[in-house]
């Protein structure tokens, strides 16, 4: 089997590109692999560039799953493909039936559950405590000059919010949402959740699984972890926001398309939503300064929740393990 890996540029400050490449070379130890090509473009390839990189591969790692890539026309140029692995959790909608007819197995790589959940929690902590703002204030004072003593030192720049005994509503109880649920439980929060399919098992007993409307009405904090699809697009809008508690906190580390940003902007200005922590926006990168950037009660970062050294290396290892499971006849993480 000819294997092609699309290894995107390492975005870590501590560049680990060479280390990632070494992890991929473990594929050479699999007997069925007769040729391994690791493509290292300086940007994600599209169109003809992607076609050239894939060539006559049997196995493909690292492609983004979307209807623009996983369609009959695209796949007709690569008739040898039998197995495709995206290195991320998420994917866009594509023609599942067509891929089955072609006998192609497509998998995702659930590498970042803990990393992304931790980042979602850090956004929530920042909304509640604004530790950065307080640290910057303390450093800004010239303590060699007369000041107000204790009142200058023990000073709140922003209100402090305690989460103990409050209710967090988790939308999407997949691996990331479940990891966040356990963190929230550890902080003494009441955990409720909404998912398209109810989760079954003793490990979920501490979570009250409810309807979407009930989650909106009961939650003090709402954290989004749902996949983006036609049914989930714009799920946070002026109508659903109206059902939320006054002063709710909203966290989104999933996809920007889950939120109507104009409606979130209005809710942040009015105080209906106390604060938002967003690692994703609708257009990435943005082509203009979106109104949400003007909101002091919105913390926005650039889709970096997944971007730790540990998670990048784990993604390679898990993708290889998933491929071995496929070769053994017991495929896992299949999304088609």
3-state SS, residue 30: coil
Laid out side by side, the sheet with 2-6 consists of 35-39, 2-6, 59-61, 83-85, 105-107
Note the pLDDT tens digit of each residue in 269-297. 999 999 999 999 999 999 999 999 999 99
pLDDT of residue 207: 98
Mean pLDDT of 70-78: 92
284 is catalytic: yes
Mean pLDDT of 251-268: 97
Q: Do 204 and 220 fall within a single domain?
A: yes
Q: Do 168 and 117 fall within a single domain?
A: yes
SS3 content of the chain, % helix, strand, coil (to 5): 40, 15, 45
225 is catalytic: no
Q: Do 25 and 167 fall within a single domain?
A: no
Structural domain harbouring 96: 2-112+309-327
Whether 149 shows a pLDDT value over 90: the answer reads no
The answer to whether position 336 is within a domain reads: no
The answer to whether position 335 is within a domain reads: no
pLDDT of residue 227: 87
Catalytic entry in 129, 134, 282, 303: 303
Note the pLDDT tens digit of each residue in 189-238. 999 999 999 999 999 999 999 999 999 999 999 999 998 888 899 999 99
Note the pLDDT tens digit of each residue in 3-49. 999 998 766 676 788 999 999 999 999 999 999 999 999 888 888 99
Q: Do 243 and 135 fall within a single domain?
A: yes
Positive or negative: CA dihedral 238, 243, 247, 249? negative
Whether 150 shows a pLDDT value over 90: the answer reads no
Mean pLDDT, the chain, as a whole number?
Answer: 94
**Confidence (pTM):** 0.90
The answer to whether position 334 is within a domain reads: no
255 is catalytic: yes
Class of residue 197 by CB neighbours under 10 A (exposed 0-12, middle 13-18, buried 19+): exposed
Catalytic entry in 255, 261, 312, 314: 255
CATH no. for residue 208?
A: 3.40.50.720
Q: Do 57 and 203 fall within a single domain?
A: no
Let me know: does 261 contact 206? Beta carbons within 8 Å. Answer: no
């Amino acid at each position: 089997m000819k294997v092609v890996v699309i290894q995107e540029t390492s975005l870590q400050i501590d560049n680990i590109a060479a280390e990632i490449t070494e992890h991929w070379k473990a594929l050479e130890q699999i007997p069925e692999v007769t040729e391994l090509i690791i493509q290292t473009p300086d940007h994600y390839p599209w169109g003809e560039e992607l076609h050239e990189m894939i060539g006559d591969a049997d196995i493909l790692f690292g492609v983004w799953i979307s209807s623009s890539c996983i369609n009959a026309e695209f796949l007709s140029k690569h008739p040898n493909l039998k197995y495709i692995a995206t290195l991320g959790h998420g994917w866009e909608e594509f023609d599942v039936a067509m891929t089955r007819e072609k006998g192609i197995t497509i998998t995702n790589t659930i590498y970042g559950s803990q990393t992304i959940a931790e980042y979602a929690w850090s956004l929530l902590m920042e909304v509640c405590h604004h530790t950065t703002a307080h640290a910057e204030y303390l450093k800004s004072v010239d303590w060699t000059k007369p000041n107000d003593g204790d009142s200058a030192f023990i000073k709140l720049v922003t209100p402090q919010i305690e989460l103990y005994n409050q209710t967090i509503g988790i939308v999407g109880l997949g691996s990331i949402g479940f990891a966040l649920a356990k963190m929230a439980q550890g902080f003494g929060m009441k955990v409720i959740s909404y998912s398209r399919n109810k989760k079954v098992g003793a490990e979920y007993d501490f979570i009250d699984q409810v309807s979407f409307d009930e989650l909106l009405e009961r939650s003090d904090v709402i954290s989004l972890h749902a996949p983006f699809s036609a049914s989930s697009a714009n799920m946070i809008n002026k109508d659903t926001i109206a059902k939320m508690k006054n002063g709710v906190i909203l966290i989104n580390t999933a996809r920007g398309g889950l939120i109507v940003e104009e409606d979130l902007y209005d809710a942040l200005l009015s105080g209906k939503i106390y604060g938002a922590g967003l690692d994703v926006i609708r257009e990435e990168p943005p082509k203009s300064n979106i109104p949400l950037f003007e909101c002091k009660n919105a913390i926005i970062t650039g889709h970096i929740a997944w971007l730790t050294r540990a998670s990048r290396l784990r993604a390679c290892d898990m993708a290889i393990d998933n491929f071995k499971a496929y070769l053994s006849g017991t495929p896992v993480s299949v999304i088609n």
